[in-house]
Amino acid sequence: MADKTETSSGKTFTLTNDQTGDKWVLPVFDGTIGPATIDIRSLYEDTGHFTLDPSFTSTASCKSRITFIDGDKGILLHRGYNIKDLAEKSSFLEVAYALLYGDLPNQKSYAEFSKNITYHTMVHEQLQFFFRGFRRDAHPMAVMCGVVGALAAFYHDSLDISDPKQREISAHRLIAKLPTLAAMAFKYSIGQPFIYPRNDLGFAENFLHMCFAVPAEPYKVSPILADAMDKILILHADHEQNASTSTVRLAGSSQANPFACIAAGIASLWGPAHGGANQAVLEMLAEIGTKDRIPEFIQGVKDKKYRLMGFGHRVYKNFDPRAQIMKETCDKVLAELGVTDPALEIAMELERIALSDPYFIERKLYPNVDFYSGIILKAMGFPVSMFTVLFAVARTVGWVSQWKEMMEEPSNRIGRPRQLYTGAAQRDYVDINKRT
């Protein structure tokens, strides 16, 4: 496995206090690739100062061997493998194995892993009664936050986080059960019976079957749609230390159980600045409605009345490699289904205008993975409220891999950021009847 443990580069970074002239020499660490990091772990103890980086634009929160992103060059590697190769040549379960264990599986380990995941696809029968407690019109992400967190109440035999075997079982359970729970959330929202998983089907195929089959008649999943779903899952599988992954790590650093940690990740993913963007893109396209309204909409974006959803990324500042693959997949799915979606025409025109407009060029705003995923999912028959749920199904693999890596790190301690306090200094308590 190609990786590198934490080693000082021998380089240092000197910090000078302009008031006192004191100097501190800080060690610098090199990763395998990517920017070097200045080790500030002893900064507070040595200098009495914190660092301030509220949105983590310059802070590496952990060491990791899982995913590498070069945002300027549009590179995304999982365990060193390029996302384009993975999307074109491998399967979601192969990628899941690589993310969890460090290497792509050989035939034997792939067969074992697939069997393990398949074995865990069913959920405790009692869970369906848990579902029935929700309103039918609940947002499926609200349902997912609840039911995934509730898995801790059903699988007591994999909650001992100090036991590597139990950690592995809970990781397999989460990867295997998320599609089942997501499909149940969908079926519940449309008032159809739950469809049990089928172990003779592939991962993506089984998921589509659980979503779209009904007990009254046979249902055959289109291989092109199963392949597209597999690609969508691969493209969303992991993305380094993004908001939801950092949430999972922070929750896990307190030794919380993995089901609770992944539920926390789902909550974080839900926001429109993160996983909720694919839903927001479709809502935006529907609101624009017709191509002739695009210039007015673009002007509104420039006037900062709203954002162009599906555009921009904290890390990618040239292009999002996932978006390019997603666009190709989108074309295939629409051709297979014979769908001509006016939303796609608006999306294409928006993309063309935005990519040639100085406002977007100067700010390095390009389509991200979510710009096209919504159009594919809509064509497949998913309502917009399910889009972020599908993202959660895929990202669960990244979350559990990052959580597992953190739990295996001997120096793992609870994450506890500090703050720059800007509130009132200590003041006297005034009795309520004397307050103005």
Footprint of ligand ACO (CB under 6 A): 273-275, 277, 301, 307-314, 363, 365, 368-370
Catalytic option among 157, 370, 428, 431: 370
Q: Which residue matches tokens 């307190």?
A: 254
Q: How far is the CB of 107 from ligand ACO (least distance, A)?
A: 32
Catalytic option among 78, 120, 313, 320: 313
76 or 225, CB closer to ligand ACO? 76
150 or 282, CB closer to ligand ACO? 282
158 or 245, CB closer to ligand ACO? 245
Q: How far is the CB of 340 from ligand ACO (least distance, A)?
A: 25
Q: How far is the CB of 302 from ligand ACO (least distance, A)?
A: 8
Residue facing ligand ACO at closest CB distance: 312
Q: How far is the CB of 13 from ligand ACO (least distance, A)?
A: 25
Task: For CA atoms 162, 168, 170, 175, give the dihedral sign.
Answer: positive
123 or 365, CB closer to ligand ACO? 365
Query: Is the CB of residue 105 less than 8 Å from the CB of residue 99?
Result: no
Task: For CA atoms 174, 186, 153, 128, give the dihedral sign.
Answer: negative
Cα atoms in the Cβ-side hemisphere of radius 13 Å centred on 292: 0
Q: Is 313 labeled as catalytic in the residue annotation?
A: yes
Calpha distance 6→67 (Å, rounded): 16
What one-character DSSP code corresponds to residue 152? G
Task: For CA atoms 177, 181, 183, 184, give the dihedral sign.
Answer: positive
Cα distances (Å, whole numbers) of residue 366 to 240, 268, 348, 362, 370: 19, 23, 13, 11, 11
First and final C-alpha spacing in the chain? 67
The residue type of 25 is V
123 or 369, CB closer to ligand ACO? 369
E strand intervals along 276-342: none
Calpha distance 100→79 (Å, rounded): 10
Q: How far is the CB of 165 from ligand ACO (least distance, A)?
A: 33
Query: Catalytic positions, please?
Result: 313, 370
